Amino acid sequence: MVADRGNRLPNEGLTALNEAGLMNVSFSGNEESLGLSVGDFASIISKIGEHCLSTAFIYLQHCQQLALLKEHVYDSQRELVEEIIESGEWIGSVTTQKEKGGDLLRVNPPLVYENDMVRVRREAPVVGYAEAAGWFLVTMRTGVDSPENQVSLVAIHKSDLGVSIKGEWNALGMRGTQSLPMNFNVQISKERVIKADFRMIALKTMIPFAHVGWAASWYGGARGVYDRFLDTIKRDRKCYKSELFRNRMASIRLELDQMKAFLDSVTRDLDEARERNVDLSFYGDPTFNIKINNLKIGLAKSSFKVVSELIEYMGLARGYFVEDEHFAERVFRDLKAAALLYHNDRLLEANGKLMLIEGRNLFG
């Protein structure tokens, strides 16, 4: 609440996560037996999201970056990965472009090699928790002569000369993410260019972790408003004497349970795939991609619908006004961003194309 009103980072939540030892998590699967499952990850993000969606967003993206470093980069560039992780700093993601939004698999600005160094010139209109991050993993076109779908990741530290923040974050909701515009014009060692195949990184880790993390946080935000309002009702049962009110609340619970069932289904698929260490064809399969796209689309819609309806039932004082017990109006504003974050329409368009080439079931 304080971060939202002050339009600042949720420093209290970020400090608590750090003190709890959650800055350096690992994930099971892909030949690793120890660590969090994807289901565990979703549960943690949901619980954080019940209280603060901005904190949940920052943490899920940091975990996504940790996963890609540990699972795709560690063996070939161990020193770089250890330097990033052992710094104990938040890891940011730079993927947005003015022309293409958040399209992961196409980038315009190229890497320019200068002897043993590489020049990174890049503008990013939106970078989550830009002021809090110490490291940034930046998408770039692999070279001047490379096509825009040949993408490389580059590790840049905030202390590198030529890293700057170029604006403010004045948004309807998700104010605590402080997703600021940034400019990069840096010359760094070519050893900072990630050698792993970016398409594999994106399909196996970045996209699944993003969609699951976003969906989990939105479910948590909606569930939190529901639970807080239900606690109020249990203390004062006058409104619960109405049959119409009971039916409406039961419908809200049905919507929440359906959201959770879909989220659990996707996390089970991912945990099974990771446990079996399936090849890249699974993650590129149309059926799998339609399902994880639908998870993002569906929970973005449902979470906002749930909180909107709850505000109607809660009334002006408890729902519409700014207050410190239910904070429904803040969650309502935060969840308005859900459909806009990698816009639902783009994913629906992608699914429409994938449906035409869909040919098998998961694990089929």
Decide which of 318 and 346 is more confident: 346
User: Could you tell me which residues come within 8 angstroms of residue 229 by beta carbon, excluding any fewer than 6 positions away?
Assistant: 310, 313, 314, 318, 326, 328
pLDDT mean over 174-190: 97
**Model pLDDT for residues 247-297, shown as the tens digit of each residue:** 999 999 999 999 999 999 999 999 999 999 999 999 999 999 999 999 999
The reported pLDDT for the residue numbered 284 is 95
- For position 154, what pLDDT does the model report? 97
Q: Which CATH architecture has domain 90-195?
A: Beta Barrel (2.40)
Tens digit of each residue's pLDDT (9 = 90 or more) over 187-219: 999 999 999 999 999 999 999 999 999 999 999
Half-sphere exposure of 74 (CA within 13 A, CB side): 10
Domain ranges of the chain: 1-76+197-364, 90-195
**Pairing of the two strands 90-94 and 133-141:** parallel
Strands (E), the chain: 90-94, 112-114, 117-127, 133-141, 151-157, 163-165, 180-189
**Between 105 and 239, the higher pLDDT residue:** 105
Non-local (6+) Cβ contacts of 7 within 8 A are 169, 170, 175
And the tokens for 200?
């594999």
**Average pLDDT score over the chain:** 93
Percent of the chain exceeding pLDDT 90 equals 84
Average pLDDT (318-345) is 93
pLDDT in tens, 68-110: 999 999 888 999 999 999 999 999 999 999 877 778 899 999 9
Rounded CA gap, 90 and 130, in Å?
A: 10
Radius of gyration of the chain (CA): 21
DSSP string, 256-295: HHHHHHHHHHHHHHHHHHHHHT--HHHHH-HHHHHHHHHH
355 confidence band (pLDDT: 50, 70, 90): very high
With a cut of 90, say whether residue 238 has pLDDT above it: no
Query: Which pLDDT score, from 0 to 100, does residue 319 have?
Result: 86
User: Do 1-76+197-364 and 90-195 share a fold?
Assistant: no
Hey, which CATH number is domain 1-76+197-364, 1.20.140.10, 3.90.550.10, 3.40.50.20, 1.20.1560.10?
1.20.140.10
